[in-house]
């Protein structure tokens, strides 16, 4: 299996521009997670989906952030407009949830390093 | 409000010695704990986990200890190897929502020869 695939690996953009990060989860996994890693806060969960439905988006910092999962094999995280404080590494992870409360480990992608100037 | 805390941002250990990484949590509803390991330019990878019904779980050189009364867990690596040099994240979840993992800020371990 190719594992969780994220693109792009690096993104440099100017403040005010729209940024779209992409994720392809592991085939067969039914839960998908978006995290942000910063030095100060470590790994923060932004949003997660189960069976393509957003379950918890309480970690999304502002309305500038949005995430979609149109099908089981693709998800996007969009920032519009981007700001310098959004600079971080964004990870996507997937897992298989047997039933509510019985989830297996999360597998992480390599991350997208976002720099907003 | 950090519910999972790793108070040591870095740790340096000599090869062959024991590495002890610590993690504290505040939410008494947490009952499943995991350690992830992260190399530069890669995503975190699962290392070992422990459920609250246990106080110890061992996997080769890695052992996780859980002290529920103190809300504290630790990861022991014996013997430490240079390849163990990485950032280690502690994570926790509550039974009512196993999907949602709360991560700490990480501890960078360096194992030197």
- Residues B38-66: pLDDT tens digits? 999 899 999 999 988 899 999 999 999 99
Average pLDDT over residues A62-85: 96
pLDDT at B99: 73
Residues 6+ apart with CB under 8 A from A99: none
Residues A30, A72: contact at Cβ < 8 Å? yes
Statement: residue A101 has pLDDT above 70: no
Residues A100-109 have a mean pLDDT of: 76
Tokens of A1: 């299996």
**Helix, strand, coil fractions of chain B, as percent rounded to 5:** 5, 60, 35
pLDDT at A62 over 70: yes
The shortest C-alpha distance from A84 to chain B (Å) reads: 21
Looking at the complex, does the CB of residue B1 fall below 8 Å from at least one CB of chain A? no
List the helix and strand counts (H, then E) for chain B. Answer: 0, 11
Mutate to test the interface with A, among B3, B6, B44 (most CBs of A within 10 A): B44
Average pLDDT rounded to a whole number, residues A77-104: 86
Degrees (nearest 5) of the Cα angle B10, B16, B21?
30
Predicted pLDDT at A41: 84
- The pair of structure tokens assigned to A56 is 């918890």
Residue B100: the pLDDT is 82
Mean of per-residue pLDDT scores for chain B: 93
Percent of chain B residues past pLDDT 70, beyond the cut:
96
Kindly identify which residue of chain B lies nearest to residue A6, measuring between CA atoms. B43
In percent, the amount of chain B with pLDDT more than 90 equals 84
Structure confidence at residue B96 (pLDDT)? 62
Q: Is the pLDDT of residue B25 over 60?
A: yes
What is the average pLDDT value for chain A, to the nearest integer? 92
Query: Would you call B6 an interface residue with chain A, using a CB distance cutoff of 8 Å?
Result: yes
Q: Which of B93, B91, B73 lies closest to B31, judged by CA?
A: B93
Confidence class of residue A23 from pLDDT cuts 50, 70 and 90?
very high
Angle at A79 between CA A78 and CA A83, to 5 degrees: 160
Using a CB–CB cut-off of 8 Å, the residues of A that contact B are 4, 31, 33, 35, 39-45, 48, 50, 55-56, 91, 93, 95, 97, 100-103, 105-111
Identify the weakest region by mean pLDDT among A3-17, A83-97, A101-115, B61-75. Answer: A101-115
What is the rounded average pLDDT of the residues A54-81?
Answer: 95
How many Å lie between the alpha carbon of B54 and the closest alpha carbon of chain A? 17
In this model, does residue A102 exceed pLDDT 90?
Answer: no
What one-character DSSP code corresponds to residue A96?
-
């Amino acid at each position: 299996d190719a594992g969780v695939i994220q693109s792009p690996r690096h993104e440099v953009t100017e403040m005010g521009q729209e940024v779209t990060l992409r994720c392809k989860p592991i085939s067969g996994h039914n839960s998908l997670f978006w995290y942000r890693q910063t030095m100060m806060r470590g790994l923060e969960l932004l949003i997660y989906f189960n069976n393509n439905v957003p379950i918890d988006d309480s970690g999304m910092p502002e309305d500038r952030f949005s995430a979609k999962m149109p099908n089981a094999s693709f998800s996007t995280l969009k920032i519009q407009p981007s700001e310098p404080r959004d600079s971080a590494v964004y990870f996507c992870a997937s897992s298989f949830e047997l039933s509510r409360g019985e989830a297996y480990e999360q597998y992480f992608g390599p991350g997208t390093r976002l720099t907003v100037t | 409000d950090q519910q999972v805390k790793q108070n040591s941002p870095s740790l340096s250990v000599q090869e062959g010695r024991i590495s002890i990484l610590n993690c504290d949590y505040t939410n008494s509803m947490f009952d499943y704990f995991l350690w992830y390991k992260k190399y530069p330019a890669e995503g975190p990878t699962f290392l070992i986990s422990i459920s609250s019904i246990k106080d110890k779980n061992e996997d080769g050189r890695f052992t996780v200890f859980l002290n529920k009364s103190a809300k504290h867990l630790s990861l022991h690596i014996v013997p430490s190897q240079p390849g163990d040099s990485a950032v280690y994240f502690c994570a926790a979840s509550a039974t009512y929502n196993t999907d949602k993992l709360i991560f700490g800020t990480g501890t960078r371990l360096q194992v030197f020869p």
